[in-house]
Structure 1
Amino acid sequence: MMNPKQVLDVQVSKGITAAQSNEHLRDRSERAEKYAMTKGNYDPTRKHLNFEVVSGGKIRPVDTSRNIPERMADILRFRGIKDPNEGLPEPKYRTVVNIIFGGSRERMQELAFGSQKVDYEKDADNSHIQRKADIERWAKDVYSFVSGRYGEQNIAAFIVHLDEINPHVHCTLLPIKDGRFAYKEIFAGKDKFEYSARMKQLHSDFFSEVNTKWGMSRGTSISETGARHRSTEEYRRMLSEECTSIEENIKRHQQVLGELQTDIRLAERRVKGLTTMVANLEVQKAEKESLLSAAELDLKENKGNAAELAYRIKMLEKELQGISRQLADKQEKLQTADRQLISLKENMDAIAERTETLKEEAYHYSQDVHSKVDTLLKDVLLEDMVSEYRSASVQMGESERQLLDGSLMQSIAERGTEVMHCATMLFLGMVDDATTFAESHGGGGGGSDLKWGRDEDEDNRAWALRCMRMASRMMRPAIGKKPKR
């Protein structure tokens, strides 16, 4: 086993969906389970080997009775902490940190299964495989590391998956400090430079406190390289989860829009009803005021029975006071209903706009996924072509081999890493560095007097191809020299 390395990947989010929780807990419907089997490197015959670490570092089977969002709610309720995203039409606070812990595939398989022969082919039966104690001890060490650094009370789930090709831990952590969510204070820092420094330190501490004794080297964190060190299945799952998250956001927004439309219709009916009531009360008030004025005038001019007129005036004043109170109440309620209706319409406009934005994000994300998959397929295709060339060249005769002498394929197959590195420097305009690199690695066949540079009308693809061809020439050994291996 060549220098096994640790893996540590930190991803922050504004919550965790039921779909993501089901993925972590392997709590899928039969249909979803079958779909997962067809799409990934899951082995259902090893699913029973999965486990989780809970309070006190105890090992237990994965508990699916409560999903991770429910576990989080329980933690917050018990500690009297409010989820800042609760009640918002769209979450905006970072309340969940997902950390993947693992290591080089062979080392993690050794910890999990020892010397047992596991068949990693699709549809293989590994039901006889037993979980080894080392993976449990390693997981406990990782759990202790997380608990000591971030607080055991903040761990919502700590699941160990042994049913994928590379065994690993999924830790769902709540970034809480002093009774409040504090992601920036705990993880991000004041800027990207502090965040990078903290991630590097986290990776170093994880190595020194845990993986030194488990025979893994520090490796390079994803935050340092910007790369996603995932297996094909982990990469597929990552894309699937991101896509699911976007789709769920759109679905949730559409549901909110439907509810708002219902609320708006009710509010409009209420405004209409109150407007009618106010209009009727204003008519009644005007009528009573007219009758009161007439009665007061008759009393003043001694027209009719004074006692009867006085009594009538008293009753009209009483009725008028009642109407005025009702009118004031309905006018106040109408103003409130108007404000609520305006607010609902504003919310609806905002949600509708955000929904359209999410749909655009989903479209662009779809394009991005295609681009990433396209790059992945090209990488695999190149690796396969190189492998086939090397196998075929062994069986070629001298005359056949000469046909490929000096070709880009031969150069990539024999010295792929060096050619790619040299081509990258050429593409970036670092000609002197590329020349020095080629010469220091046994090259020199490209010559030093060649005119080199990018043409004004040359696109990236054409320029990249020319850089590859030039790098291939530069990495050839100079005449009379043998290539360094």
Structure 2
Amino acid sequence: MANAKQVLDVQVSKGVTVAQSNEHTRRWTEKGWEHAMKIGNYDPTREHLNFEIMTGGKVCPVDKNRGIPERIADILSRRGIKDPNEGLAEPKYRTVVNIIFGGSRERMQELAFGKQKVDFEKGADNARVERKRDIEHWAKDVYSFVCGKYGEQNIAAFVVHLDELNPHVHCTLLPIKDGRFAYKEIFAGKDKYEFSARMKQLHTDFFAEVNTKWGMSRGTSVSETGARHRTTEEYRRMLSEECTTIEENISRHQKVLTELQSDIRLAERRVKGLTTMVENLQKTKAEKEAQLSVAERDLEAHKGDTVQLTGQIQKLEKELHEIDERLADKHGKLQEADRQLSGLKEEVDAIRERTDELKEEAYKYSHDVHSKVDSLLKDVLLENMVNEYRSTSVQMNPSQRQMFDDTLMQSIAEQGVEVMHCATLLFLGMVDDATTFAEGRGGGGGGSDLKWGRDEDEDNRAWALRCMKRASRMMRPAIGKKSKR
């Protein structure tokens, strides 16, 4: 279980829907379960294993009598805190933070089920499977961590699911500080960079306080994993784990983008509708003002019935007053709709930017790992060729062996390490050091008719090859000398 890693995912919302609450508490009808099983990997025969942590860290069956929105309302009422989204036509403020806590699938299944045989295929019967105490202890440690960091009074629900493929916690948290909602202050920070730093720190704190005890690693960044020497199998595992994590994050962001695009379309329709209403009201107002102006002129010029004109003027003035009130209301709603639309577009831009960063991260990571594997394969290939040459040269007659005299293959086969070191010094421009190194090991064939010095248009591969050839000549013993062995 050395490769087990923790999982921590933070999702922010402007409230909890009934559907979300039902999913967390499994408050489903038979049809609800059928639908859930069609779209996800749920096992109703393991549903009885789910539990939640209540106040004081007590392990309890999941309470299906009270939905999460009701629990939130009770918390706010008890503490005298108003939900800022209450009364708004559309929720505006981020009042709920959903945090998923978990770990690598194999490790979480071990905590939940121990060595019991569990069939994870859809439709399997796992009614006899029992919940192990380790998952309860782990969940209580996570609960304690959340309480210490954000306050137990702010936890609306803390449900542990064992009826899915990977056991995990759903924590519904209210971002409240000093008696008020303060999502930006507690989580977001002043910008996306501070938010990113806080999320990384949350991962680190979670590992240090909880998962180091439960045999799960913090996980490392791409730059860290790429900087360490690993075996081929480790590369394979590392690539698989890191790319899977990145792909999951990209998938999650794309899902959020889809939801935001839907919200944007609704917001755009709302803005368009309100704009049309305002334009129609302004047109009606202009018509009424024109009618009023005519009626006032006729009254002043004593044209027509005075009582009728006076009544018409009063009616028009009342209608204009009502139109002004409606215009003021629609202007306010239009400004709010514009702000919401701008906010949604900013969220889309930020998530798109982060998604692009993740894709670039995945590309760089994959390229880095493949480059290292490529270098490893080349090293193995070169070593194999050298060994084959050595074993074959022993069986050659003098005329056949002469064909390889003064070749790079012969030089690498006989003095591979020394030639490579000397070539490296030459490549780096350390000619004097390369000469000293060659002479110190019996070399003396440095003089040659090879052009020396790197050409301006010479690429690294061509330059490296010339350095290898030069090093090969430098490592040869001078005439009359014997090579040091």
Task: Give your verdict on TM over 0.5.
Answer: yes
Cα distance 1:273–1:187, how it changes in 2: closer, same or farther (>3 A)? closer
What is the CA deviation profile of residues 192-232 of structure 1, one whole-angstrom value per residue up to 9, with x for unaligned ones?
Answer: 68995897588458745x567x554774688x989999787
Deviations, residues 5-36 of structure 1 (Å, cap 9, x unaligned):
77363636343675876765567764553343
> Once the 2 structures are TM-superposed, how far is the Cα of residue 80 of structure 1 from its aligned partner?
4.1
Amino acid at match of 2:292: L
Does the CA-based 8 Å contact 1:8-1:221 persist in structure 2?
no
Question: 1:246 is matched by which residue type in structure 2?
Answer: L
Q: Are 2:455 and 1:451 equivalent residues in the alignment?
A: no
- Please say which of residues 62-71 and 78-87 is displaced more in the overlay: 62-71
Q: Is the 8 A contact 1:203 1:221 kept in 2?
A: no
Q: Measured at CA, do residues 29 and 352 of structure 1 come closer, stay the same or move farther in structure 2, by a change above 3 Å?
A: farther
The Cα shift of 1:334 comes to 3.9
Contact 1:9 1:221 in 2 (8 A): no
SS, match of residue 156 in structure 2: strand
Select which of 297, 311, 314 maps to 1:286.
Answer: 297
Closer, same or farther: CA 153–221 of 1 in aligned 2, 3 Å: farther
The verdict on how the C-alpha distance between 1:106 and 1:353 changes in structure 2, with shifts beyond 3 A counting, is closer
| Cα distance in 1, alignment partners of residues 65 and 245 from structure 2 | 25
**RMSD between aligned residues:** 5.7
1:332 equivalenced with 2:321 (yes/no): yes
Q: Secondary structure at the match of 1:158?
A: strand
Partner of residue 414, structure 1: none
| Counterparts in 2 of 1:105 and 1:323: CA distance versus 1, 3 Å | closer
Task: Return the offset for 1:76.
Answer: 3.6
In structure 2, how many angstroms separate the alpha carbons of the residues matched to 1:167 and 1:189? 31
**Which residue of structure 2 lines up, in the alignment, with residue 142 of structure 1?**
142
> 1:216 and 1:82 mapped to 2: Cα distance?
42
Instruction: Give the structure 1 partner of residue 6 of structure 2.
Output: 7
State whether residues 288 and 320 of structure 2, in contact with CA within 8 Å, keep that contact through their aligned partners in structure 1: no
CA contact (8 A) 1:50 1:62 kept: yes
Any gaps of 5 or more consecutive residues in structure 2?
227-237, 390-416, 430-453, 466-474, 476-485
1:253 corresponds to 2:257: no
Q: CA deviation at 1:139?
A: 1.2
Q: What is the aligned partner in structure 1 of residue 51 from structure 2?
A: 51
Aligned-partner residue type, residue 160 of structure 2:
V
Q: Relative to structure 1, is the Cα distance of residues 198 and 354 closer, same or farther in structure 2, using a 3 angstrom cutoff?
A: closer
CA distance 1:204–1:6, change in 2 (3 Å): farther
Task: Structure 1: give runs of 5+ residues left out of the alignment.
Answer: 295-314, 404-438, 470-478, 480-485
Structure 2 partner of 1:436: none
Q: Using a 3 Å threshold, how does the CA distance of structure 1 residues 359 and 53 change in structure 2: closer, same or farther? A: closer
Residue 146 (structure 1) shift: 2.1
1:177-188 counterparts in 2 under 5 A? 177-187=177-187
TM-score, length-scaled by structure 2: 0.57
Q: CA 1:174 to 1:261, structure 2 compared with 1: closer, same or farther past 3 Å?
A: same
Task: Mark the CA change 1:94 to 1:276 in structure 2 (over 3 Å): closer, same or farther.
Answer: closer
SS in 2 for 1:448: helix
Task: Please give the alpha-carbon distance, in whole angstroms, between the structure 2 residues aligned to 1:226 and 1:186.
Answer: 30
Question: SS state of the match for residue 131, structure 1?
Answer: coil
Residue in structure 2 matched with residue 302 of structure 1 by the alignment: none
CA-to-aligned-CA distance 1:299-348 (integer Å, 9 cap, x gap)? xxxxxxxxxxxxxxxx95x7776555444434433444455555566666
Q: Does 1:33 align with 2:37?
A: yes
Q: Tell whether the 8 Å contact from 1:15 to 1:95 is kept in structure 2 after alignment.
A: yes
SS of equivalent residue, structure 2 residue 427: coil
Cα drift, residue 362 of structure 1: 7.8
Which deviates more, 160-169 or 15-24? Answer: 15-24
Change in CA separation of 1:358 and 1:109 when aligned onto 2, cut-off 3 Å: closer
State the aligned residue count.
389
